[in-house]
Amino acid sequence: MSAEATSPGARSRRRGRTSIDLRRLGRAALLGPASRDRLPDAIGHVADAHRAHHPDADLLVLGKAYVLAEMSHRGQFRKSGEPYITHPLAVTLILAELGAETTTLTASLLHDTVEDTDVTLDQVRAEFGDEVCYLVDGVTKLEKVDYGAAAEPETFRKMLVATGNDVRVMSIKLADRLHNMRTLGVMRPEKQARIAKVTHDVLIPLAERLGVQALKTELEDLVFAILQPEEYERTRAVIADRATTGPSLDTIAVDVRRTLREADISAEVVIRPRHFVSVHRARLKRGEMRGTDFGRLLVLVGEDADCYAVLGELHTCFTPVISEFKDFIAAPKYNLYQSLHTAVAGLDGAVVEVLIRTHQMHRVAEAGVVALGNPYTPVDGAEPADGERADPTRPGWLSRLLAWQESATDPDTFWTTLRADLAQDREISVFPADGGMLGLPAGATCVDAAYAQYGDGAHGCIGARVNGRLATLSTVLVDGDTVQLLLAQGPVQASGDAGSAGGLGDAGGPGGERTGPMAGQAQEAAPGPSPEWLDHARTPAARIAIAGWLAANPESLKVPESEPRAPGAVTAGRRGVANVVVDVPEDATVRLAGCCTPVPPDDVTGFLVRGGAVTVHRAECSAVGRMAALGRSPVAVSWGDEAECRVTLYAESFGRPRLLADLTEAIATAGAAIVSANVEPPSEQRVRHTYTLQLPDAAGLAGLMRAMRDVPGVFDVRRAQHEPAS
């Protein structure tokens, strides 16, 4: 039930009316005169909107559902004073206008009956069937009496699980929230803000991922008005001022129509005004708004081939802005969206964005999963194999979400993780070497890919190849990467070196060559994930699986017992690394951690890890805090007499010709040798360089970093502390 419902008795007493008067008033106004063979007048608009999309729809079931809903909610009122039945009617009309099929509309009329009235799910099932019953149950809230503070997160968990089987559940929830947001003005300001915040954090991202742009944009504007009222009023004033200025968009629209008509291309050209949030973002990005910034041109055609014909004519007859071209027809977005995006300049130099799509693409772009109809309907008359339905609305992000929520048993953990997961609003596709495709959030690493492909089997991952090249498991993946994940041949067990598990603790710097198991040589037994993996996991599924394994294998985190001995100089296992003095057995291996690459005279500390090795970290390294939290005792470490050292540096720069040559010249002039180097592709005109360098004397490190910063175009040089998030 919406929070806007009130007690009918209390409202009757305030107005001095008896409850029976109000019931008669509500029935007369809403139900209207009706006979057995016609629909009640109150759902006439719903019927008209539904028939516009589904001319052959059977409306009798809608009338039957409305009568049950009206009788069940009779005597209930919203805080606005309206009879409560107006809410399910409004929700159903929203879905009908988007093109939802009859089953969805039937369930939307009944979506609050089980929650707020004496109607039971068994009654709904008996009257309307299993599908309607499932949808109504999916959107029914859990009682606060039973769940307390966990009621809201557990209700969303329940809805998401139900959505995994039938996305129509979330379609009804989104329409329900939209109508509640439209009528939120009667609430207290603090309650408005709370509901708007949940809408912003959870429901708007879900609407975006399900492709329901028509609901998403209106929800964004309603939330914007509540959470940022001053910016909203400023944006509204900007739009109002624009309404009285020159018709630049109209002029270009006329030119585009004439161009397409002369090319004998049948197309509809309309102006699509930007919604408030879109104008606000454009104003922040561009400063002073141009006339064409307030809207876009939408060109609708009949066939896919016509989209490219329109694109060719526009790029021929107008000046195209090539950087603005995107082809979402050949490569649809993860939320089913398809369209061609471009921008052209008119004769007066004004630039306008143009969207080109078919009428069917436009329907899906606006309504998303709602436009796909009943997911249980057989395709081309064929029943799905093994009783399972072929559902194109079960994308990778939803499968991932359903997978990790099973492990997030704590409601607070689930609620926090859900919001964080939905905040990652971009998706990438990577391709395993053995075929298939993995959908991952932007910023995902090889660790995430491993758990997405193998689940708990990824505990035995010992390395990866990205696009054919050896890479650390901390490597951030980009759209289109090919990933080959290297698994141990033996079972996962709590032994070995945590620092070498997956190469996260002793990577030698991003982009460097690997040694040991990371070079692709499978071991007889994999050591399992190390705590360092948590720093590089972006997906909740990976983080929950890693944390679960670490909690279930506490013995893997214990420091191996060793006999004390007098301090002595031990040289690190890698050639050329400065020696350190530690209190460990003579045959122990000492490694300088690749996550922070300590050099003399850094303040350092060491920790015994699995296998009896010692990993040396800078004192300020984030790994030190994690080791201490796991109960590991630090090992006393000091620097030896050797001055030579190895260090990993990150250089951030703007792209320009000869930049790499100038940087390497500065490094060579400072007397450093380049052990490995990696230059990432430019992103937003910025380039990131990673260098692992051998210095003859650690005292020269500060001068080397200054020399690199002095190279024109370089705006930052820093030592590796950990692999930063993308």
* 445 bridge partner residues: 476
CA distances from 270 to 300, 306, 340, 355 (A): 8, 16, 15, 10
Sequence-separated (6 or more) residues with CB below 8 Å from residue 188: none
For residues 73 and 54, the answer to whether their CB atoms sit within 8 Å is no
| Cα gap 236→221, rounded to integer Å | 11
Pairing mode of beta strands 340-345, 351-358: antiparallel
At residue 563, φ and ψ (nearest 5 deg) are -80, 130
Pairing mode of beta strands 590-592, 614-618: parallel
The crossing angle, in degrees rounded to 10, of helices 213-227 and 189-198 is 140
* 430 bridge partner residues: 438
* 688 bridge partner residues: 652
| Cα gap 513→718, rounded to integer Å | 21
For residues 158 and 142, the answer to whether their CB atoms sit within 8 Å is yes
For residues 299 and 310, the answer to whether their CB atoms sit within 8 Å is yes
* 270 bridge partner residues: 298
CA distances from 3 to 22, 68, 84, 336 (A): 20, 21, 11, 33
Among the options 4, 48, 58, 116, which is catalytic?
116
Segments of 396-534 assigned E as strands: 427-432, 438-441, 461-466, 469-471, 482-487
| Cα gap 613→264, rounded to integer Å | 75
Q: What is the DSSP string of 89-138?
A: HHHHHHHHHHT--HHHHHHHHTTTHHHHSS--HHHHHHHH-HHHHHHHHH
Residue with token string 């004192």: 619
For residues 119 and 68, the answer to whether their CB atoms sit within 8 Å is yes
Sequence-separated (6 or more) residues with CB below 8 Å from residue 29: 83
| Cα gap 490→651, rounded to integer Å | 40
Residue with token string 């008033």: 25
| Cα gap 330→345, rounded to integer Å | 25
Establish whether 176 is a catalytic residue. no
Sequence-separated (6 or more) residues with CB below 8 Å from residue 413: none
Segments of 192-294 assigned E as strands: 268-273
CA dihedral 429, 431, 432, 435 (to 10 degrees): 120
CA distances from 17 to 8, 12, 21 (A): 11, 5, 7
* 528 bridge partner residues: none
- Identify residue 642 by its one-letter amino acid code: E
Burial class (CB in 10 A: 0-12, 13-18, 19+), 186: middle
Among the options 115, 152, 304, 652, which is catalytic?
115
| Assigned token pair, 403 | 């997978």
| Cα gap 646→57, rounded to integer Å | 73
Establish whether 115 is a catalytic residue. yes
For residues 464 and 473, the answer to whether their CB atoms sit within 8 Å is yes
| Cα gap 698→647, rounded to integer Å | 9
| Cα gap 556→630, rounded to integer Å | 11
CA dihedral 163, 167, 169, 173 (to 10 degrees): 100
For residues 488 and 460, the answer to whether their CB atoms sit within 8 Å is yes
User: What count of residues does the chain have?
Assistant: 726
Residue with token string 């000869």: 658
Q: Which residues are catalytic?
A: 115-116
